[in-house]
Amino acid sequence: MKTMTCQQLGGPCELAHRGETADEIIQAQDKHLKDAVKNGDAAHETARSEMKYRWLHPKKSLGWYNDTKAAFAALPES
């Protein structure tokens, strides 16, 4: 199990996401951003827009995805 924060994934806060894979953490971040914006948190709107773009344009976002997977792989187990 590894941990990455919202901020490490491009968001504005230090909420920790835990997962066995980078994909689990990316999905947790997506849910966090959706929930934060739905609850009126304007600080997360930019990150939410960027995440929506990544889901809609996966080929263009492959660099972010590969960078995130590499950062996840480099983390120690927690």
Whole domain around residue 19: which residue ranges?
2-74
- Global pTM? 0.90
Single-letter residue type at 30: D
Q: In the structure encoding, which two tokens stand for residue 20, read together?
A: 């066995």
Q: Which residues, including other chains, have CB under 8 Å from residue 16's CB and lie 6 or more apart?
A: 3, 4, 5
Instruction: Give the DSSP letter string of 8-64.
Output: GGT-SS--EEEESSHHHHHHHHHHHHHHHHHTT-GGGHHHHHHHHHHHH-TTTTHHH
Do 69 and 2 contact (CB within 8 A), yes or no? no
Q: Encode pLDDT of 9-57 as tens digits.
A: 999 999 999 999 999 999 999 999 999 999 999 999 999 999 999 889 9
Number of domains, the chain: 1
